[in-house]
Structure 1
């Protein structure tokens, strides 16, 4: 009589590998991965949250330079620390967060670049990770949304931006940094009962811009609304609109006032403060955040790295939200 083969025992996941110890290696030394975290290959190619750069800005309509944004954010993130007191969490101990490097997109062919970003995002999401993408210009939100919707179905969207980015075309081009959310709407990637712009302001081409935007289902919280109503009320409104739906957050750094973020391609006066943006994001605790992007950081126009510093803290809050949810068992991770 043969001896039965014992059932394999579940092996607990190893403790997440965190950032370089800054008490032993100075912050200005070593490679500039996001928050000095390990590279994806250093954790066996699997992570719960993968931070990836997309150095692409061929879709901009005014000032270029966002192709250098991802690495500028990484450099500024050297000052991030492992405990986030605002969310009472140590995100890099709760889940494995790793830097997945850059997606090399063709700078001379937007259509090909969009396909490349989507294919790379598909691969990362299929591994079980959530994406924290550092752009790059806002064109990349479309392929990222295609990939996220492929996994989760139509998603709720919070879009932080000075601009609507729901225009139809620029110079006849369908894929630009001003059109990603119209294309996403047309392709059925969005849950139109839960899509919102936050921080919009400034002149438009005409009132029809708002009419067409409303037709797509978007709610709007302007930067003036945030100032008058306060971040707690705004965050509560957004949470109620999102509910339990899978949520994608897309942040154009020009949602911040140029006083806080001069290093961007299309600045508009009257924006949010960095404090307001961070507090609204912290107010999303409890939402099912499946992935996010942060775009339009353009270092050539950045004074004293102000924009990159604000962006690094913004990405930190988003990765903290995702890590907390993974630790709480919401949607899992790479394991």
Structure 2
């Protein structure tokens, strides 16, 4: 993921004019118009904008019936997830309905409009940067993927429900200023998983490609990846970045790690980080340093799991290592 990895959340706000909404939403998403459908209704929108790198989300509830029309050539893929109410839209000649049971997906090109956002409806509108999504495609498959698309998905079960759960967890954590997902080392792998999950749900061809056997990895590619991890464990590395730098697909790198090392690339990264955290605990000052701060610095977001992994690897809990430092 190129460029700065921006993480943040705006305060919850009530916007009372269409101009205010456009001033906030157009820079964060895409050029569009917004029209009120029932003049007698009093317009307002309750909204909060959240961002984690290439993913931008607005959690918005409109208090009047509206219509939105979007320009061609948008710079991102898009999803609408309804938390309450319903939203009607049209994309590439297909009429779509977003409800609590069905999420809808939109590609960067083609006619796109929200024909009726019903008053009282609460939507998570999700923009996924075009470059980031297409990079996931290239890094995972490293070959052509058939141009097929699922414009809507049932979110009551199966992969659709799983992806929406991931998305909602992301938005909940971004809204919490104390969340570890405000640290790129923790956020980047999760964001990559959300983007990959989106492709698995929205692109049947991508999902079918993943079912095929991966190309065997050269031992040199695995060696190069472990060298990168050993040298850069302090950075927010992802499997996709490792694969790209080693000139193989994500699936080939994963296959190579399993074949030659018996673990996944991210499992190897966690083991290196655990070793670095252990070394830092041994060198720390118990009067000044804490287990939690050291664990979070090395990307461990669950302190209980970190403590158990540390005890399994080194025979003592982290606080014991710190106490005798």
Q: What TM-score, normalized by structure 1, do the two folds share?
A: 0.22
- Rg (Cα) greater in structure: 2
Decide which structure has greater strand share.
Answer: 2
Decide which structure has greater helix share.
Answer: 2
